[in-house]
Amino acid sequence: NVFVPVVVTMSIVTFAVWFFIFGNQSLALTTMVAVLAISCPCALGIATPAAIMIGVGKGAENGVLIKNNAVLEVVKNLDTVVFDKTGTLTKGKLDVTDIVADDRRKILEVAAIAEKWSEHPIGQAIVKKAENEGISVAEPESFDALPGFGVTGEVKGKKVLIGNRALMKNNNVSVQQLENEIEKLESEGKTVLIVAVKGKAAGAIAVSDTVKEHSKEAISALQKMGLKVIMLSGDTRRTAEAVAKQLGIDEVLAEVVPAQKVDEIKKLQSQGRFVAMVGDGINDAPAITQANVGIAIGSGTDVAVDSGDIVLVKDDPRDVATSIKLSRKTLGKIKQNLFWAFFYNIIMIPLAAGVLYSTLGVLIPPEAAATSMILSDITVVGNSMLLRRFKP
């Protein structure tokens, strides 16, 4: 809409100057045609799509799917990366490690029955532990999941609560007698569930998740890029900080219930931060959508994957750094291509118009102008092709 009319106008002006002012009809025709031939809207037109096509293709080769090309512009401003803990930095496969109770088997049975209908990994881990120990897990009389707190149900006519301190506090259940054991387990990075029966704390069950093999390396790579890394978790602060310490993360947002995750992202953005959110679960989807750049783990839920601007196919946290590096490289190539395309036209069009002919005798014939235009396109494509050499 702009470039072509400007070039056509310049070619007419060039003809008019050489024909009417200098009286040289041959030179007027030659320079007019040369201006039209040497101008290169193609280089401007392919500068962005060529780099994006090759960058996105290279990302796919490395297990990084860039779904939203607009994030390439945003990534350059990123200064903060927020990771959800479970399933993103950890494997999300929980195992029961400790049971604190006078009657260990009885508490495990009660907890397993109460959690039998739970879809949460913690509840499933408790049921699995009971079954592995030969306990018959009956159906609860009632069940209610309380996201961010735990579950409540009725087992053999007794009301059972299983969850965190907040759930116990909301139901006026004292956990003072278990506090020392709970603190010890949490300091080891374990998630502790308190089991209350008929309004009294009867025991505690600890579950542990294994940190992914390359999580620490991934965090280190992001920090070396100058990015602030934050871990987001629904665990208690003591548990979350123990895991963060293993990974070298120095900022933790703990005890965040699922509904508050998006609020934490908004809070960071209100501080002027450009935030990438990395998650895998359905509870992460709103936060992934809210973040400036949403990164979803491909092995996670469909909702999380659909919410992400970038999807990591291989379930490898190191690919977060790869996706950011590749996005920045691709944006860099786009800028280089645009610079070359503008620079070429700014320099070559006046030369084709004959601005140096009167003083230096420099004149670009139409056939050379056409060749120059083709070379300009080749340069842009060739520069974009250098992205093929990108290595994570």
CA pair distance 322, 324, nearest whole angstrom: 5
- Can you tell me which residue has the tokens 């974009």? 384
CA pair distance 310, 266, nearest whole angstrom: 20
CA pair distance 357, 36, nearest whole angstrom: 18
Q: Which run of H or E residues covers position 358?
A: helix 357-360
CA pair distance 50, 273, nearest whole angstrom: 31
Sheet bearing 275-279, strands edge to edge: 64-66, 310-312, 293-297, 275-279, 80-84, 228-232, 251-253
Q: Is 84 one of the catalytic residues?
A: yes
- Cβ distance 159 to 198 under 8 Å? yes
CB count, 10 Å around CB of 388?
Answer: 11
Point out the catalytic residue in the list 84, 235, 284, 316: 84
Beta partners for residue 316, in sequence order: none
Residue 234: partners with Cβ closer than 8 Å, 6 or more residues away: 86, 148, 254, 255, 256, 257, 258
CA pair distance 298, 206, nearest whole angstrom: 28
CB count, 10 Å around CB of 282?
Answer: 14
How many alpha carbons fall within 13 Å on the CB side of residue 221?
15
Helix pair 318-352, 25-38: axis angle to 10 deg? 170
Would you call 70 exposed, middle or buried from its count of C-beta atoms within 10 A (0-12, 13-18, 19+)?
exposed
Residue 255: partners with Cβ closer than 8 Å, 6 or more residues away: 164, 166, 233, 234, 235, 236, 237, 240
Report which DSSP code applies to 87: I
Report which DSSP code applies to 43: H
- Cβ distance 237 to 187 under 8 Å? no
Q: Please list the active-site residues.
A: 84
